[in-house]
Structures are given as C-alpha cells and as structure tokens.
Structure 1
Amino acid sequence: MLLVIDVGNTNTVIGVYDGDTLKHDWRIRTTRNSTADEFNVLANALFSDKGINRKNIDRTVISSVVPSSVPILNAFCEKYLDLTPLWINSDSVKKLMPILYNNPNEVGADRIVNAVAAYDKYKTSLIIIDFGTATTFDAISEKGEYLGGAIVPGIMISSEALFQKASRLPRVEIFIAPERVIGKDTIESIKAGIIHGNAAMVDGMVERMTKEMGTSPRILATGGLAPLISEISKTIEKVEQTLTLDGLKIISNEVGNR
C-alpha cells in the first residue's frame, strides 16, 4: 500500500492507495510545531478507524509547502513505518514533466503534483485552478510542459482580511453561493462580493491565460472551495478533488522511492 501526504499551509491531506485505488483519504489541519510522535498518534487513530494495517504500507510520498514539516514527517516515516519517503520537488518529476519556469525550484510541490495528475488523465493543454490558502492558476501545454501560472490571495484569507480590517462588517459564512450578485443587505452583499467576485476573477484569469497559451485548454479546479466556485464560474469544466493525491500516486509509481 502507498501512503501519500500533501502538506499545505492550512490543511494537510492524507491518502492511502491499494494499487491504483484510493482506499481512504483525510483532511486535517496543518500543525507546524508538532512532533513525529504526535503525528504518529494522529495517523494511528486515522488508520485504525478505517481498518488499515500500517504494516501493509510499503511506500510513502510527500509534497509540502511547509518547510518545518520535513523533519517531522521524515522522522515519522523512518521511526514508525521503517520507510524513507519520496519528497516531491522539481528534480523528482523532471522526467515526467518539463518545468518551464525561470527557476523550477520555485514552483510549489503541490502545483507540480496537480499538473502531473491532470496531464496524465487528460493528455491535453490545461489550466488548473487550486483553491487553497492561495488560489493558484497553472498552465500546462499540449506537450505536457508546465508553462507557469499565477498566484492570488486565497478566498478564505482575503475574507479574513476584510473582516479584520473593516470593523463594521459582520463575519459571514461563505459556503453557499448567493442567488444574486446585487445584495439586498450587508451579509448578502459580502457573500456576493466574495463568491461571485472570485468566480469572475477566475473567469477573467482563464480568459487571459487561454489567450496567451494559444490553445483551447481544459479548465479544471481542485481544493476545498472548488465545488462552490465551479457552480457559478463560466469557465471551470470539472472539479477534481483528489487531483493532488492522484498526482502523488502517479509520481511514486513512475519515479519510485529513493
């Protein structure tokens, strides 16, 4: 079995594959000051709840944008799984996907993993939108090259900044899209601005990136708020919620553990 872990700034996603089948996956809060022993307690509880025998895990692959997670997860894998994890970076995937960034090492591991998974599935030009702590846009060529992309503040951190800086505006839940763009009260107006505004930003960015690419890319979305924005976006074609985990699995199968 394969254990895959993607460490993001806000959440960490964990998955266990049996062959090509994702048996179980979990989304937990990223903790920067935990220890390998504490992570083991958490992992053991997750595995036990789903009847997973950790002795059956014979490979592990990790992507992370949080540097402090590296020694923690390294120690966890080596101490409790007796495995050395494969860490994702531009070098580990260069045979699978050329990265046409000025400095390939600057590309986040999660963005690389998403690109590999999407191109493996669709084999065409793509724009991938990941709604995480930041909202990222990644462009993939018809040849399977990572062309580059764009990064904007994520929906949640943008909203949090609004609530903190505008003291008279109430904090609102933004997990249901409002029916109207023109709000009839303050709460409706905030929801409309955040949700419809981000959908319009996505559509505008997709239009401009598509023009620069000179192709007709498939438009995919992933991340926690992808289903919400995809409901009202005019350009998002499909939500792929396991894209990152699938990419880790593909890279592990193709590259293998070091």
Structure 2
Amino acid sequence: MMLLAIEQGNTNTLFAVHDGETWIAQWRAATEATRTADEYAVWLSQLLSMAGLALGALDGCIISSVVPQSIFNLRNLSRRYLHVEPMVIGENVDLGIEIRIQKPSEAGADRLVNAIGAHITYPGALLIIDSGTATTFDVVAADGAFEGGAIAPGINLSMQALHNAAARLPRVAIQKPQAVIGTDTVSAMQSGVFWGYISLIEGLIRRIKDEFGKPMTVIGTGGVASLFENATTAIDRWDHDLTILGMLEIYRRNPHFGKQ
C-alpha cells in the first residue's frame, strides 16, 4: 500500500505518504480554497519526484478537511491523477468511535481524527490540545469516545486581531519573550499574547480536569504547538503526528475503498 493522506486545516494543508510500514514523506502547503486539482498535481508531482516517488505509485488516498469548498478539488486530484476514489472523512466513513456530544455532526473532522490517533497511541482518558488557526481542547474517554471540549481563537488570530483593531500597534512575530514585563511595544505585545496563551492553556486544562473528575493525559499537537514546548508543564506529551496516525487508522478501518 502507498497511501496519500491529505490533512487540510484553515491555514496549512499537509500531504503525507505512507508505504504500509512507515511515513516516508511529508509536505505542507498554504491552504488555498481555489487551488485546482491540476495545480495540486503539478506541485505534488515535483515533490514526489524529489523524494524518488511518483503519483502513479500511490494507490490509496484519504482526505480530512475543515474547508468544504476545497474537497471538490482534492477529490479530483485523487480521481484524475491517482486513479483512486478517495476516502473523505465525514462522508459515510466509519470512524469506529462513539461521539458523545449533543450534535455529533458538528464535530470537526480534525478533532475526531486527533481523538482516534491519540486513543490508539496513549492509554486512558486524554485531553488533546491542538494549536492551529483555532486552539481546540478535546476530551477522549478511556474507551476512545469523543466527549467534546473547548475551542478558542488561535494565537496567530489573536495577534492579528490586536494589530487590526489598534491603529498604533504594529504587526509583530510571535515568539517566546525573554521576560513577562515588556519594555517596549513589541516585547509587550509578544509577552501578552504568548504568556496570555500559556495561561489560557493552563487554565482550561485545570478546569477541564476538575470537571472531568478522572485522571487524564494531556497531549499537545498542531501546527504551532512547537511554540509552547518547554513553556508549560501542564502538557504531558507533545505529538505532532496525531492527525496522520488517526487518518491511517481510519483508512485501515474502511478497507472497501480502492481503485476505480
């Protein structure tokens, strides 16, 4: 099996190739809802070639996207260039987990995929913190069921909102400041957003644990998660591959998808 996993968030899209034993290649592109299947194919074929691979070698495809208008073009990429009917999470795909929230259809594909990837990797009840365009806090029961959580704006959105709403505040890069007390505008903004986010994460972890009432392992993941590593002890493990691990597991649970 040569599987192409496409995980599309609001900001970035990850393309990863699994050869049946391990992940052998991963690439990221900016998410653009209007990018056509042909444009994807040109970009992807060049990267595959650099890795000694080819589009024709891929015989499976799974797509997880939170951008509905992009799914049409990603589906055509798989059909036209891989000659494979893609598995699209959320479209009659058996996830193999119970979704214990009031409206299961509202659970985002990315959150459910993370829940599966975490459950097959770590024992017991889990709290998954995914830092991206939004920062999500998702509770996974010991039996693997998705039990809901919390959603907050991502750190980049917060910094952008600060710049857009306040005429005199500049656009600055997000990084871990050396001190909490800033001595100029840029360092003060960096401190407020960075340490403010650490406090948001730590505070929500504490409240969720108190409400859940059982031991939980806290897992950090997501595109900007590396910003927070070594800045808090509230997160037990950092795992940047949760999403693709979950996608691989879902693909294996649905063996009826195949070539056209």
Provide the TM-score with structure 1 as the length reference: 0.95
Whole-Å separation in 1 of the counterparts to 2:243 and 2:140: 15
Q: Secondary structure at the match of 2:64?
A: strand
- Per mean C-alpha deviation after superposition, the further-off stretch among 231-240 and 199-208 is 231-240
Whole-Å separation in 1 of the counterparts to 2:94 and 2:131: 23
Aligned to 1:249: 248
Preserved contact between residue 90 and residue 112 of structure 1 (Cα < 8 Å): no
Whole-Å separation in 2 of the counterparts to 1:254 and 1:87: 13
Whole-Å separation in 2 of the counterparts to 1:256 and 1:69: 24
1:19 deviation in Å? 1.3
Q: Secondary structure at the match of 1:220?
A: strand
1:192 deviation in Å? 0.8
Q: Secondary structure at the match of 2:121?
A: helix
Preserved contact between residue 126 and residue 139 of structure 1 (Cα < 8 Å): yes
Identity of counterpart residues, as a percentage? 39
Q: Secondary structure at the match of 1:19?
A: coil
Aligned to 1:149: 149
Preserved contact between residue 181 and residue 188 of structure 2 (Cα < 8 Å): yes
Whole-Å separation in 2 of the counterparts to 1:257 and 1:74: 17
1:91 deviation in Å? 5.3
Instruction: Report the AA paired with residue 169 of structure 1.
Output: L
Deviations 1:45-86 (A, max 9, x none): 121121112222111111001111111011111111100001
Preserved contact between residue 126 and residue 218 of structure 1 (Cα < 8 Å): yes
Preserved contact between residue 9 and residue 65 of structure 2 (Cα < 8 Å): yes
Q: Structure 1: which 5+ residue stretches go unaligned?
A: none
Preserved contact between residue 123 and residue 144 of structure 1 (Cα < 8 Å): no
Preserved contact between residue 130 and residue 137 of structure 2 (Cα < 8 Å): yes
CA change 1:198–1:215 in 2 (3 A) is: same
Deviations 1:154-189 (A, max 9, x none): 111111011111111122111x31122121221111
CA change 1:102–1:91 in 2 (3 A) is: farther
- 1:70-89 correspondence to structure 2 within 5 Å: 70-89=71-90
Instruction: Report the AA paired with residue 233 of structure 1.
Output: T
- 1:196-215 correspondence to structure 2 within 5 Å: 196-215=195-214
Preserved contact between residue 61 and residue 86 of structure 1 (Cα < 8 Å): yes
Q: Secondary structure at the match of 2:220?
A: strand
Deviations 1:95-129 (A, max 9, x none): x2111111111111011111100010012111111
Residue 12 (1) aligns with residue 13 (2): yes
1:257 deviation in Å? 4.7
CA change 1:229–1:149 in 2 (3 A) is: same
Instruction: Report the AA paired with residue 18 of structure 2.
Output: Y
Q: Structure 2: which 5+ residue stretches go unaligned?
A: none
Preserved contact between residue 129 and residue 221 of structure 2 (Cα < 8 Å): yes
CA change 1:90–1:38 in 2 (3 A) is: closer
Preserved contact between residue 56 and residue 81 of structure 2 (Cα < 8 Å): no
1:90 deviation in Å? 8.1
Aligned to 1:195: 194
1:233 deviation in Å? 1.9
Aligned to 1:111: 111
Whole-Å separation in 2 of the counterparts to 1:198 and 1:219: 16
Instruction: Report the AA paired with residue 99 of structure 1.
Output: I
- Per mean C-alpha deviation after superposition, the further-off stretch among 80-89 and 52-61 is 52-61
CA change 1:90–1:144 in 2 (3 A) is: farther
Residue 185 (1) aligns with residue 184 (2): yes
Preserved contact between residue 90 and residue 107 of structure 1 (Cα < 8 Å): no
The count of aligned residue pairs is: 256
1:256 deviation in Å? 2.5
Whole-Å separation in 1 of the counterparts to 2:91 and 2:81: 27
Preserved contact between residue 132 and residue 223 of structure 1 (Cα < 8 Å): yes
Aligned to 2:127: 127
Instruction: Report the AA paired with residue 210 of structure 2.
Output: K
